[in-house]
Homo-oligomer: A and B are copies of this chain.
Amino acid sequence: MRQDFHDELARVSSSLVTMAKAVREAMRQASAALLAADHTLAQQVTVRDAEIDVLYRVVDDRVFDLIARRQPVADELRVALSALQAAADLERMGDLAAHVARATLRRHPVPAVAPELTVMFRAMSTVADELAGKIVAALADGDAEVAGRLDSDDDAMDQLHSELFKVMLSSEWPLGVEAAVDGALLGRYYERFADHAVNVGHHVMLLVVGKTD
């Protein structure tokens, strides 16, 4: 990879790190707001989502500019497009954090998570935070190995997601339809967050490997 291209790509990566940190913080706050039925915190997350969208446009513009001005060769182009795709997945993860926050706002002052599901959602939020943390680390340190390990965290999320449905659909489910519908949608948001995190991991691997060539 040419040095000038490499230098500009480093600027793109640095914007991606900022974006990944913002997404991690958004989901962390969204989870805290969800579990504590905290209206103020949930509102902050929805504001933060607009900031993540701005960061997305920054990455998008930088990559566009990089391709338009530097006329990348094939390998460089593949790396630049990976950055674009990573940013798109991160943006979507921010949306999902906002969805979690909006579920909290919708049910407030009643918690959107039924007490029977609190332990499970606490576990899902921990996995989500670990995934987001690994994305930040992989991007910041250029660590392809960390990025590659995201798949196994996603398995943990899928497992929790599947347990969640077993609990809600068992004949012993003590609560009504509304609590189960909330649980189903919230479970889906966490599951999708993890799916996008795995996608980011794949893009980051290419980005990191491309950078060190």
When the two chains form their complex, are residues A181 and B178 in contact, meaning their CB atoms are under 8 A apart? no
Stretch at the interface among A18-26, A29-37, A44-52, A74-82: A74-82
A67 and B165 CA atoms in complex are apart in Å by 45
For A178-197 the 0/1 string (1 means CB < 8 A from B) is 10110011001000000000
* Chain A interface bracket (under 10, 10 to 19, 20 to 34, 35 or more): 20 to 34
User: Of the candidates B71, B88, B165, B185, which one forms a contact with A188 in the assembled complex, judged by CB atoms under 8 Å apart?
Assistant: B185
Q: How many copies does the complex hold?
A: 2
When the two chains form their complex, are residues A64 and B88 in contact, meaning their CB atoms are under 8 A apart? no
For A33-69 the 0/1 string (1 means CB < 8 A from B) is 0000000000000000000000000000000100110
A168 beta carbon closer than 8 Å to chain B: yes
For A84-122 the 0/1 string (1 means CB < 8 A from B) is 110010000000000000000000000000000000000
A85 and B149 CA atoms in complex are apart in Å by 27
A77 and B181 CA atoms in complex are apart in Å by 44
User: Of the candidates B81, B173, B181, B188, which one forms a contact with A64 in the assembled complex, judged by CB atoms under 8 Å apart?
Assistant: B81
Q: How far is the CB of A105 from chain B (nearest CB, A)?
A: 15
Q: Which residues of A contact B (CB under 8 A)?
A: 64, 67-68, 71-74, 77-78, 81, 84-85, 88, 165, 168-169, 173, 176-178, 180-181, 184-185, 188
